[in-house]
Structure 1
Amino acid sequence: MRDTPYLSVDERLLEVNLSAMADHARTIGVDLRPHAKTHKSIEIARRQLAHGAVGLTVATVAEAEVFADGGIDDLFIAYPVWAEGPRAERVRALASRVRLRVGIDSIEGARMLAQATTSGEHPVPIGVAVEVDSGHHRTGVEPAQAGIIAAAAADYGVRVDGVFTFPGHSYAPEARASAAHDEAHALATARDSLLGLGIACAVVSGGSTPSVDAATGRAAGGVLTEMRPGVYPFYDAQQWELGTAGPGRIALTAVATVVSVRGTRAVVDLGSKVIGADRQSWATGFGRLPAHPDARIIALSEHHATIEFADDGAGAPALGTRLRIAPNHVCTAVNLADELVVERDGNDVAVVSVDARGANT
């Protein structure tokens, strides 16, 4: 018996989720380039590629280095990387050994990437995609300005692959379809701004896990050529509460032991240092229990979670009971773990390393 707490992955559900998203991408006619910041695992990345993914999306240069070391040779850093100092040398080294695409949302950022990779005696190839704001209001330029950024990048001598966005405002109740609509409109405007300046736009990339069901690709006359969902291999309590996937599709849970009971309340031996502390304003608790859909985690500290169970006369589970908890945000929970325990039919079958844990630079 393994000591709790630990993160467990149901292999059957993992494969169901990987297969379903790959099938969806094929159905709507887009390339699947999943975001690996969720699982941070070379093993799970290889499973995604085996299901037909064309490459990976990552959040940082350090994540890209980890996956390149693991043999993944087509990577997109979907972030406006500022290529200065040691990071410039790292980007150059990456571009020399994998097919690399990097996000930009400024002329200055394009210039820095060009200086890092195309100058000197031995230039290396690098592609860029212009990030546009489709409603999340984080990074990204106004869609109509994408062509200007792309033209500057081309003048600096880097390969312009296309445009991308992150419809992060899909992470709100009843917003999944509207965010997908906003994404399509923004990307169409951005693509046309490139084409209007005579710049090819082969890649039109978008997609979040909540919005992909409403996305339209080439098969339906849509604008997307590529989508980059991240959470879908595991899903989590947020996706459950948003309606993206029910509790029967949550493949990753934290296993914890009941250590204290009082009436309908139980305390388990995990806290924010295992499942993270993320809680959106609309979330009903600090995580959910797939086997107990009416229960709620009402308080969370570093090493304790207080769970309120339904007042149905049964009370809380007995001391020593093992419970499975779906984190609100699976990406942060995984980044807190060194390894994931893979289970098949309730038995441990493998331990998967979280290879890119802490790869934040």
Structure 2
Amino acid sequence: MVDTHTQVAGPDLALDHLPTPYLVVDHDVLSANITRLHRHLAGAGLAVRPHVKTHKVLEIAALQVAAGARGLTLATVGEAEVFADSGYADLFIAYPLWVDEGRAQRLRQLAGTARIAIGVDSVEAAERLTGLLDPRVELMVEVDSGHHRTGCRPGEAGAVAAAARAGGLSVRGVFSFPGHSYAPDAAAGVAAQEEEALRVAAESLRAVGVLPEVISGGSTPSAAEMGAGVLTEARPGVYVVNDAQQWELGRCAREDVALTAYGRVVSSRPGRVVLDTGSKVLGGDRAGYATGYGRLLDHPEARIVQLSEHHAVVDLPEGLHRPPLGALLRVVPNHVCVAVNLVDHLRVVQRGHPPRTWSVAARGAHT
């Protein structure tokens, strides 16, 4: 998704008075990202159920729903509670939850206000949920499409669904997460691999008399490669703001990055500056393919080569004028989901509007 659009400006100086570091969302870029990917997926015949663990922000979810999102994907019951309390009524926790009595009660309360589904990936887990889970809570069977994290083998999905059905529980369909799409040049192959895995899984459900209403998959790197046929639903998350990983993989352009950390130069020497945007605001993730711990939005060739709790050491390309002490720079985190969960608020800038603040409403909702 690299065919863009707007000119990259510099840091918004209306925020210059704020103590750094802080995270800033460019509303115009955010809106363009939502519109572009939702239109693409709708044109491919897929419903969109964005994963809101990326941003955890009610206002961003509202923009996604206004752009046609069918519902929301979440990582935890806590996240689901936050969004259900704000009126979001179709929620899928895409995770094989461990449901104890306390969590069962929380899911029961959620089912009273929203359509709710959770993940399950084994016969043992499905049988355990019998008599524990409110029958209004639906199940989605997770299959492993090659990421090798959670999920049963595609051909075993029917047995999981049959065990759930035997216990009086409702099975909505099957899903996968193609996390191995986060690798250079992997997206197209991984999307095809996921499609085949979900085709086998759906047939496995049909073979035991369970009709899959939803066949769900996708990730931000693979979203552009998805199409209807087998899948009915896509669950991208990072696309809404993008990050250095997506930029590095070529799944977005610099102009598509909507969230940055504003930081100041606190130390300087030839060829290098140090910013106050350490791991406690950027997060510490660095994938094997990443060329640094983050990037500078306005200086694409610069790289963060060393990251401490409160320091980001930036190597500058030859010929670049060295920013002076106190200069305000925009840093693109490697993994935006982690960065957002480290702050209470996002600053929002938008052409023609004064800066405003959005709360990271589901921050810390990990249970």
TM range (shorter): over 0.9
Of the three residues 80, 86, 89, the one matched with 2:105 is: 89
Kindly state the Cα deviation for residue 46 of structure 1 after the two structures are TM-superposed. Answer: 1.0
- Measure how far apart 1:115 and its partner are: 2.1
Match of 1:65 among 62, 66, 81: 81
Report the equivalent of 1:164.
175
Is residue 8 from structure 1 mapped to residue 24 from structure 2 by the alignment? Answer: yes
| Residues 102 and 185 (structure 1), Cα distance of their counterparts in 2 relative to 1, 3 Å cut | same
2:206 pairs with 195, 198, 201, which one?
195
Aligned pair partner of 2:284 in 274, 277, 285: 277
Paired residues of 2:181 and 2:187 also in contact (CA < 8 A): yes
Cα distance per residue 1:154-210 (max 9 Å; x no partner): 111111111000000000111111110110000000001111122101100000000
Give the distance between the partners of 1:266 and 1:328, measured in 2 at CA: 19
Distance in 2 of aligned mates of 1:349 and 1:306: 29
For the pair 1:352 / 2:363, whether they are aligned, the reply is: no
Report 1 or 2 for greater relative contact order, CA contacts < 8 Å, sequence distance ≥ 6. 2
Contact 1:289 1:326 in 2 (8 A): yes
1:230-264: per-residue Cα shift (whole Å, max 9, x none)? 10110000000111101110000000011111011
Q: Distance in 2 between matches of 1:346 and 1:269?
A: 29
Q: Do the aligned residues in 2 keep the contact of 1:42 with 1:67 (CA within 8 Å)?
A: yes
TM-score where L is the length of structure 1: 0.95
Which amino acid in the other structure matches residue 21 of structure 1?
A: L
Which SS does the other structure have where 2:93 is aligned?
strand
CA distance in 1, matches of 2:108, 2:123: 19
Which residue identity is paired with 1:284? T
- The reply on whether 1:267 has 2:278 as its aligned counterpart is no
Indicate yes or no: 2:351 matched with 1:335.
no
Aligned residue for 1:75, secondary structure, equals strand
Q: For 1:9, give the aligned amino acid.
A: V
Query: What is the total number of aligned residue pairs between the two structures?
Result: 351
Tell me if the contact between 1:341 and 1:348 (Cα under 8 Å) persists in the aligned partners.
no
Q: TM-score, normalised by structure 2?
A: 0.93
SS state at 1:161 partner: strand
Equivalent in 289, 313, 321 of residue 306 of structure 1: 313
User: Which structure 2 segments of 5+ residues have no match?
Assistant: 1-16
- Mapped contact 2:178–2:194 kept (Cα < 8 A): yes
Displacement of 1:347 in angstroms is 6.5
Structure 1: stretches of 5+ with no match in the other structure = 119-123
Whether 2:35 is the aligned partner of 1:29: answer: no
Question: In the alignment, which residue of structure 2 is the partner of 1:238?
Answer: 245
CA distance in 2, matches of 1:201, 1:149: 13
Summarize deviations over 1:41-68 as a string: whole Å, max 9, x none.
1111111111100110000111111111
Q: Is the 8 A contact 1:135 1:182 kept in 2?
A: yes
Identity of aligned residues (%): 53
Pairing partner for 1:117 from 133, 141, 155: 133
